[in-house]
Copies of this chain bind each other. A is one copy, B any other.
Amino acid sequence: MLKKEKLSETGLIKEIERLSSETQGFNKSLIIKSIGDDCAIVKDKNRMLVSSDSITENVHFNFVLYNFYEIGKKSLLVNLSDIAAMGGIPRLFVLSLFLPAYVNEADIKQTLRGIIDTAKKYRVSLIGGNISKASEFSISATIIGDYKDKNVVKRYNSKKGELIYVSGELGNSWMAFYLNSNKDYIFKNYQNLSPEDKKLIENFINKHKLPEPRINLGRKLSVGKLAGSLTDISDGLVKDIFNVIGSGCGCEIYLDEIPLNKELKYICMILNIEDYVDKAVSFGEDYELLWTSEKHKEKELLKLSKSTGVKIKKIGYINDNPACVNFLKNGAAYIPKDFTFKHL
């Protein structure tokens, strides 16, 4: 479950993976899947999913874009998304809070309220944690989940001929981040903005600054055996696509098929932003699901989209060009500009 965080060295993760293998033998019967996927899978008669993720001030959030309540929410949402990315059911979590002196009691209570409200929404139970003094504000959570019907959907498992799907819309997190970071400038300098446009921008920020983990969709993909390989998009499609591709496989992605929010397109039009597709596939932080499916399951996926109310979009297919990802735009090869979220 060790995840490629945006600013960490891939080599370091490889090193951790290598080192962890020295310890795998001790509890072989307990560990079904260790480092290398969205979650570790451990079996203690029932199989549990275990994952941890952290958010840090000025790396994953700042106090311009988020208040404490929202930071609390985000800390749990990113962990929930890891369970969704396995098709699992989140159950329990523990918290580590790193609290700097300038965070006062009211701030912490707001943070906890955000965490607890999110926990209630997704029916996960806080079962412990610890608090540490620190010079910057961080929250680390470890989430434990399980899954039914013996199904769990792993990374790196796609087969040639499978279609590639994505849930919801890409780029909304980028747009919300961009708008919020530049709102004052935009409102002052774009004279053509109507009061309705400004309201639209405000609403867009509020609606999209926090991700929605696709627990229910992930669960149904898993139970219905509708996905061959599944992950969530945290680093951007351009990077995360490599997490679904099975060995000996590659893929083609049609950038014209990337699902985009209508309001995002409208806002980009009035702000003269042209490269929004590049941004939508490279910024990350959307926490939408990305998976592959056999062709004949297309109808079932349509039904699933209707029953869950979550958009599902086919964006490409798996071929047998090993480890080769081709992006196409208007029918021609295209390399998306890299706007990978540089974590502030």
A258 within 8 A of B: no
- Smallest CB–CB gap between A12 and chain B, Å? 6
Give chain B residues whose Cβ lies under 8 Å from the Cβ of A91. Answer: 26-27, 30
Q: Do the beta carbons of B42 and A45 come within 8 Å of each other?
A: no
A64 within 8 A of B: no
A92 within 8 A of B: yes
A-B contact pairs, 30 of them (CB 8 A): A1-B127, A1-B128, A2-B128, A2-B130, A3-B130, A7-B132, A8-B99, A16-B112, A19-B116, A20-B125, A22-B119, A23-B119, A27-B92, A27-B123, A30-B125, A31-B127, A34-B126, A34-B127, A35-B129, A39-B128, A40-B128, A52-B128, A52-B130, A52-B142, A54-B96, A54-B98, A56-B133, A59-B132, A135-B135, A142-B142
A162 within 8 A of B: no
- Smallest CB–CB gap between A246 and chain B, Å? 21
- The distance in angstroms between the C-alpha atoms of A3 and B151, with both chains bound, is 36
Q: Number of residues in A with C-beta < 8 Å to the partner?
A: 76
Partner of A22, one of B92, B95, B120, B131: B120
A319 within 8 A of B: no
Partner of A131, one of B13, B131, B136: B13
**Which 8 residue pairs spanning A and B have beta carbons closest together?**
A45-B45, A1-B128, A142-B142, A40-B127, A8-B131, A20-B126, A96-B140, A40-B128
Q: Do the beta carbons of A127 and B20 come within 8 Å of each other?
A: yes
- The distance in angstroms between the C-alpha atoms of A125 and B30, with both chains bound, is 10
Give chain B residues whose Cβ lies under 8 Å from the Cβ of A5. Answer: 130-133
- Smallest CB–CB gap between A172 and chain B, Å? 23
- Smallest CB–CB gap between A75 and chain B, Å? 11
Q: Do the beta carbons of B94 and A142 come within 8 Å of each other?
A: yes
Chain A 6-26 interface 0/1 with B at a Cβ cutoff of 8 Å (1 = within): 011101110110011011101
